[in-house]
Structures are given as C-alpha cells and as structure tokens.
Structure 1
Amino acid sequence: MEPIRLLIVEDDAMVLEVNRQFIETLSGFQIIGAAANGTEAIQLIIEKDPQLVILDYYLPDMDGYQVIERIRLRQKDTDFIMVTAAKDVETIQKIFRFGAIDYIIKPFRFERLKIALERYQQMLYRFRKEDELTQKYLDEWVYTERKKIENKPLPKGLNEVTMKQILQYMMKVKKPQSAEEVAKGIGLARVTVRRYLEYLVQTNRLKLDVQYGSVGRPINRYSI
C-alpha cells in the first residue's frame, strides 16, 4: 500500500516539529506539508489533497471546526484527527458531527497518537481491500479496537511534561548531546535526564550514538 499522505496543522512551531519528528518514525505515512494557520491549511488541502490531516483547534485566523467546515463544503475526501487542548463538550460534539475520525486532547502521550495513526492505516487498508464489510467486522472494529486506545502509563518516576521538555530541547540544539549537556541545558539532575533519554531511545524517539575516546569511558550522545 502506498504511504498515506498526511498534513500537519499546528501554529506552535516547536510542537509542530516534535510531532513531525515523531510521525516520521512511523512507517506508512508521508508528510506532504505543514500549515501554521487555517487559511494556509485550507489552501494546502485543496492543492495537495492529503488523505489525513492532523489538525489543531486553536489557530490564529480561525478554529479547526471552520477548517473542516470549509473543506466539507468543497466535498473533499479528507479525514481529520483533531489534536488540541479544547476539551469542552460542545466543541468535541461539533468536531465529531463534521466527521473527524478521532480527537486527542493535549497534553497527550505520543503512544496515543501512534495508536490513532495505526488504526487509521488499518481502516484505510480494509476499505481499499474490501467491497463490503460484515457487521461482525464493524462490531469488532468499533468496540474491540476502541478498547485498545488507552494511554499507556509511563515508567514509574517519569512524567509527560518533563519528557516533552527534553524533546523540545533536543529539537532546539539540533546536534548530539550527552546526558550532562542536556541536564545543564534544561536545569535538571543528570541522573534524572539520563532516565528520560534512555526511555526515549527505547521508544524510538531519540537515537543513541556511543562515542569511544582514546582513554576513559565511552560517552553516550543522543539526537533526534
């Protein structure tokens, strides 16, 4: 199956880049563009015809609901996953009524976004493969699959806020860093930072490069 063409709409440049880096670690997706406001998002959707849009609700010129509304009026076959801090019932109902396939509330764990994207990928594959779907399959999809969408807890002693702080710092420096350098950069203890760095390597969000010198112990350096 060809990669799913994906567009990211997010007005916070740092958040956009972190999300981009994470999505690029997943197979089967091709990021074809990014937009920082609603006007640009609508233009890119019309021009590039993405299959899926990761859409923030709070944008400088309009909200995410207005973006979806204008795309629906143009009868574009575009799917949306809303990723936003908006969590009031009225907003969530409006978004689902206009056909968003998922709604992820910030702050979120990347595992939650990963599940949403993989679920969409499986759904799209099934739609392309089959002419008809059975009630049994739909029931399994709606109920069994939704049970899997859970926020897996982080290892004991780690928290999402600090993890995102470290990821944002790594995006900013743009070069391999030791645990000591990261600790100094964000003002945390080296032992604490090392635990987060090791976890981020295990979950494929950072790369580890072990550098050996002529003397002394090797140095672990981490990069996006």
Structure 2
Amino acid sequence: MAIHSFRVLLIEDDPMVQEVNRQFIEKIDGFTVIGTAANGAEGIEMIKKLKPDLVFIDIFMPEQDGLKTIHQIRKEGHSVDIIAITAAADMDTVRLVLQNGAFDYIMKPFKFERIKKSLDNYRTFRNQLQNKSTLTQKELDELRFEREESENSDLPKGLNVVTLNKIIVYLNDQEQPVSAENVAEGVGLARVTARRYLEYLEKCGNVAIDVQYGGVGRPINRYITTRK
C-alpha cells in the first residue's frame, strides 16, 4: 500500500497520447494526474506551481523538447522524479535521459502493463526510501537490482534492454538489410547472441527478414528495421 497518493504531471504535446497516459496512470492505485503541459517550457512552469512528485515527459515536443526540459529540471534543482515515455530509441537520447536521473525510460508504443510495472516499481522505491533515514548497501542493492530485473522481465530469458536498444539503434542506421554477423560486429556481440535478439525483434514486428540466396550453401537471412 502506498504511503500517499503520488502526484503526476504529464508533459506531452499530443492530446490523444496525453489522455491515454492519464487513463493508464489513474488506473493504478496511488497515482493521480494533477496537470498536463503541451511543451517543456509550460511543463517547467507547472512544476514550479504544482510541485508534483513525478513527471511523465515526452522527448520530441515543439518549443522546448524533453531533453532540454529534463536538463533544466535538474539544473534548477526541482525535487521531482522523471519517467521518459517516448518514441526516441537512439542510444544518445537514452544515455542523456538516464544520465539526468530519469527513474525509467518507456518506449512508444507501449502497453498498460509496462506503465503499471514502472509505477509499481516507483511506488515501492519511494515507500522504502520514505520508511528509512539511511540504507545499508544490501538494501540499496536489493532496490536497484529488483528494478533492473523487473525492467528486463518482459524479454525472453538471457536478453536485456540495454543490448536490445543498441541493436535497434544499429539497425536504424542501416540503409540495406544486414546479416546477424554484421549486427554482431557492429554492436560487439557473439553472432549467436545477435541472432537471438534479431529473432525476438522479428517476432515483435520491429524487423523484417530479407532472405538472400547465393551460389552454393544455405540462404542468408538479412534484417532490416520496419520503423523507418
């Protein structure tokens, strides 16, 4: 049970996505949306006025994008937690968002279960911190590793979010279909490992397979992203 209702501000320029996010968040016990902003500049003003516990923020927005807004939130010292919820999948954006202390990074399109998992983790994290004035290393590790395991739990065993995102970024940069061997070399993985990720992405509909036939030997599967 949550200690109190966490107050959430949505910073998102698409009204339809705003409403979907609002409905998802308010289906989860202990969370209330207290306001919405259509861009980062408006979001900063609402943070100052409403003082939310948590901000859901998009990256691609007019007037002031999410990266600039997150940086400003931290530079100005606002005591608010951040969950990025965005279509941005490139590693530079992911790295910058996480470097600025985002609690979670959720990629569009997403399902209710992913939002619920993130907010359940957030509630647990905040409540455990609130119940203690200090933490032991063991308690801190349990909080961190429980969160990491939960983030990876949607993936097949042996796959992880960070490596998956690296492969997505690599594929997005390719103009022509590439083999599992190309992906392995480009990302720095064993070929068999790269193939497992590619098979998962193909099942999810994120990549398409282009079978290429050579002269002698088996045909070669080459992969191309479907997100361009």
CA distance in 2, matches of 1:99, 1:20: 23
Q: In 1, are the aligned partners of 2:10 and 2:35 still within 8 Å (CA)?
A: yes
What residue number does 2:79 align with? 77
How does the TM-score come out when normalised to structure 2?
0.64
What residue number does 1:151 align with? 154
1:100 correspondence with 2:102: yes
4+ residue runs over 4 A deviation: none
Q: In 1, are the aligned partners of 2:10 and 2:55 still within 8 Å (CA)?
A: yes
Question: Which residue identity lines up with residue 116 of structure 1 in the other structure?
Answer: S
Deviations 1:81-113 (A, max 9, x none): 000010111111111111111111111122111
Three-state SS of the structure 2 residue aligned to 1:99 is: coil
CA distance in 2, matches of 1:140, 1:129: 15
- Shift, 1:148, TM fit: 2.1
Deviations 1:121-157 (A, max 9, x none): 111111111011122222222223321233389xxxx
Q: In 2, are the aligned partners of 1:6 and 1:54 still within 8 Å (CA)?
A: yes
What residue number does 1:9 align with? 11
What residue number does 1:111 align with? 113
Determine which structure has greater relative contact order: mean sequence separation of CA pairs < 8 Å that are 6+ residues apart, divided by chain length.
Answer: 1
How many residues align structurally?
153
How does the TM-score come out when normalised to structure 1?
0.65
Three-state SS of the structure 1 residue aligned to 2:59 is: coil
Q: In 1, are the aligned partners of 2:40 and 2:64 still within 8 Å (CA)?
A: yes
Three-state SS of the structure 2 residue aligned to 1:7 is: strand
What residue number does 1:28 align with? 30
1:58 correspondence with 2:28: no
Q: 1:109 to 1:96 in 2, by over 3 A?
A: same
Question: Which residue identity lines up with residue 88 of structure 1 in the other structure?
Answer: D
1:126 correspondence with 2:156: no
What residue number does 1:87 align with? 89
Q: In 2, are the aligned partners of 1:53 and 1:78 still within 8 Å (CA)?
A: yes
Identity %: 42
CA distance in 2, matches of 1:152, 1:114: 16
Q: In 1, are the aligned partners of 2:24 and 2:115 still within 8 Å (CA)?
A: no
Point out where structure 2 has 5 or more consecutive residues left out of the alignment.
157-228
Deviations 1:26-56 (A, max 9, x none): 1111211011111111110111011100000
Q: In 2, are the aligned partners of 1:6 and 1:50 still within 8 Å (CA)?
A: yes
CA RMSD of aligned residues (A): 1.5
Point out where structure 1 has 5 or more consecutive residues left out of the alignment.
154-224
CA distance in 1, matches of 2:70, 2:18: 19
What residue number does 2:50 align with? 48
Question: Which residue identity lines up with residue 90 of structure 1 in the other structure?
Answer: D
Three-state SS of the structure 2 residue aligned to 1:86 is: coil
